[in-house]
Structure 1
Amino acid sequence: MLRFDPFHDIDTVARQLLGENVGSSRAPRFMPMDLFRAGDHYVLNADLPGVDPGSVDVSVDNGTLTLRAQRSVPSEEGVQWIASERFAGTYMRQLSLGDNVDTDKISATYNNGVLSVTIPIAERAKPRRIEISGHAQPKTIEAGSGS
């Protein structure tokens, strides 16, 4: 007899997210990040501790910002692991950029395990004052007039 368990799928997803019983326990889970606006640009800070700076790649293609990084596993022969909780492998995160950013001027730095990406706001998307032009002589409209 089959038993219906409505929480089975939720438990499976939770185990996958928390890393229980899913392939190698050393596979990267995610790349935690913060994103905020500071004046005329956005700043994205992503945590990548222990990642070789040469493996970090930031690219923009068709409005999608892609962050990639590789963290290698130490390949030491004859070692018996007691605990292995640090993730290794490829990290990747993609963000959809709107039309209001200047993709040609995106810049990135990597310091102390933090990838910082500066995404400038395009000139066309910045707030600007719109000048109102008028007639040489003001036109007066009276209430109740038929024309």
Structure 2
Amino acid sequence: MLRFDPFSDLDALTRGLLSSQTGSNRVPRFMPMDLCKIDDHYVLTADLPGVDPGSVDVNVDNGTLTISAHRTARSDESAQWLANERFFGGYRRQLSLGDGIDTGAISATYENGVLTVTIPVAERAKPRKVEITHAGSQASISPTTVDAE
């Protein structure tokens, strides 16, 4: 199960408000992502347009999933910019994983600028039906009449 971390969202908002620079020192402000549960696994999709696939890193350490990537800036210094709105630099996003996750089976793919991370639920955390067994045969009790004398 994934745990909600409101402080990471607050931290991202604060960084966005405090780093509202313009010019060439701009860095990415966020990594938009979706997270859903399908059957016995979670699926995380994150938009990383223009990111070199070799720079994408997915890491699990001590119950924390970390996604990082890097988009390089254009190296054409002779360009005369008319608009320069695209961000470049490092992206990083962290999620706390619950105890019911099979961290050894997490997998990821990157295609067309979208990172997809599959996070399976551990076998021990999956719902299961408990079978009820019946203890040996019970002796039947039949009514008897008592003679009154």
Q: What TM-score range do you get, normalising by the shorter chain?
A: 0.7 to 0.9
- The CA RMSD measured in Å over matched residues stands at 2.6
Q: Which has the larger radius of gyration?
A: 2
Q: Report deviation, 1:41.
A: 0.6
Alignment partners' CA distance in 2, 1:98 and 1:14: 26
CA gap 1:62/1:123 in 2 versus in 1, 3 angstroms: same
What is residue 37 of structure 1 aligned with on the other side? Answer: 37
Q: Report deviation, 1:69.
A: 0.2
Alignment partners' CA distance in 2, 1:98 and 1:23: 40
2:95 counterpart SS class: strand
Task: Report the AA paired with residue 45 of structure 2.
Answer: N
**Relative contact order, higher structure (CA 8 A, sep 6+):** 2
Q: How many pairs are equivalent?
A: 128
- 8 Å Cα contact 2:16/2:29 also seen in 1: no
Task: Report the AA paired with residue 69 of structure 1.
Answer: A
Identity, % of aligned positions: 65
Mark the runs of 5 or more structure 2 residues left unpaired by the alignment. 1-12, 142-149
Task: Report the AA paired with residue 100 of structure 2.
Answer: N
What is residue 72 of structure 1 aligned with on the other side? Answer: 72
Mark the runs of 5 or more structure 1 residues left unpaired by the alignment. 1-12, 141-147
TM-score, scaled to structure 1: 0.78
TM-score, scaled to structure 2: 0.77
